[in-house]
């Protein structure tokens, strides 16, 4: 548990491009100061997209990030308030997440690597549906999936694109991944699978010349892929902080009972 006093000069503030986020950053710096690279905690001001961007920036340092909502979507953010910030941080609960590592091979056999905090998605590039073969730990589990795409998501990402694609919400501490089809055409009734967090997923793109597919790891897109490998990277730990009683675990649980 954090204590407030050590953070008096050890915060740094980062904001999205939205005017309200920039203005909030200026006011908070005036009130609390900014420790820059010496900070122990990053205060991220924006929406969920900016939180993901800030997390990606901390892959090496791993400093905890406390977000406040100054954007349009704030599932990963705390409520915005300029008062009692040090006390809120001192009482905050942490959620530690591990990203997915993607290795995508394109039609020129070039490898592209990226990390995804939410999900790795395969998406059709044209009007033609995609045809995918899916293997788990080297064993073919789905010989042919005809679809708009498919994704693998982390527990933290299960309430994002995965939920929109009718995938399951995963508790943060479940040590599981979701494999979810996007608009499956054949087999039409397949709804995906829950996988152990250590599973290694391989997508092979069938008829890639006729049915081109792109792979997207959060905001990194690789076009014209023929093979994509996805696995959790437990060598990377990223930490988010949430107000007491509003932990990420609580938010995920609440989301499962929302209308």
Please give the annotated binding residues for NAD(+), written as ranges.
Answer: 48-49, 118-119, 148, 156, 159-164
- Phi first, then psi: what are they for 21, rounded to 5°? -70, -45
Report the DSSP pairing between strands 11-15 and 149-153: unpaired
Take residue 238 and report the two structure tokens written for it. Answer: 């990223």
d(CA 154, CA 164): 14
- The residue annotated as part of the active site, out of 48, 137, 209, 218, is 48
Q: Find where tokens 């001192």 sit.
A: 90
d(CA 220, CA 166): 23
- Phi first, then psi: what are they for 7, rounded to 5°? -90, 0
How far is Cα of residue 66 from the mean position of the Cα atoms in its chain? 16
Instruction: Identify whether 48 is a catalytic site residue.
Output: yes
Cα-Cα-Cα-Cα dihedral sign, residues 157, 219, 116, 240: negative
The torsion angle over the Cα atoms of residues 115, 116, 119 and 120, rounded to 10 degrees, is -30
Binding residues: 48-49, 118-119, 148, 156, 159-164
d(CA 47, CA 21): 9
- Phi first, then psi: what are they for 156, rounded to 5°? -65, -30
Take residue 146 and report the two structure tokens written for it. Answer: 């005809």
Report the DSSP pairing between strands 11-15 and 41-46: parallel
SS3 of residue 206 by DSSP: strand
Cite the active site residues.
48
């Amino acid at each position: 548990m954090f204590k407030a006093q050590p953070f008096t000069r050890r915060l740094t503030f980062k904001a999205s491009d939205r005017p309200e986020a920039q203005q909030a950053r200026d006011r908070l710096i005036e009130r609390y100061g900014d420790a820059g690279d010496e900070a122990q905690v990053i205060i991220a001001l924006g929406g969920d997209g900016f939180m993901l961007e800030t997390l990606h920036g901390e892959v090496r340092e791993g400093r905890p990030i406390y977000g406040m909502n100054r954007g349009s979507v704030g599932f990963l953010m705390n409520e915005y308030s300029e008062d009692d910030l040090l006390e809120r941080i001192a009482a905050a609960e942490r959620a530690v997440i591990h990203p997915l590592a993607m290795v995508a091979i394109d039609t020129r056999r070039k490898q592209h690597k990226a990390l995804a905090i939410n999900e790795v998605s395969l998406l059709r590039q044209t009007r033609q549906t995609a045809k995918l073969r899916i293997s788990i730990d080297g064993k073919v589990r789905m010989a042919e999936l005809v679809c708009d795409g498919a994704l693998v998501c982390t527990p933290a990402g299960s309430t994002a694109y995965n939920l929109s694609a009718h995938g399951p919400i995963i508790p943060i501490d479940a040590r599981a991944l979701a494999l979810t089809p996007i608009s499956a055409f054949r087999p039409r009734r397949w709804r995906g699978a829950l996988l152990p967090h250590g599973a290694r997923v391989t997508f092979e793109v069938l008829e890639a010349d006729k049915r081109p597919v792109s792979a997207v790891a959060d905001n990194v897109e690789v076009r014209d892929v023929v093979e994509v490998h996805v696995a959790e990277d437990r060598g990377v730990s990223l930490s988010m902080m949430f107000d007491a009683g509003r932990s990420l675990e609580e938010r995920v649980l609440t989301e499962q009972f929302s209308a």
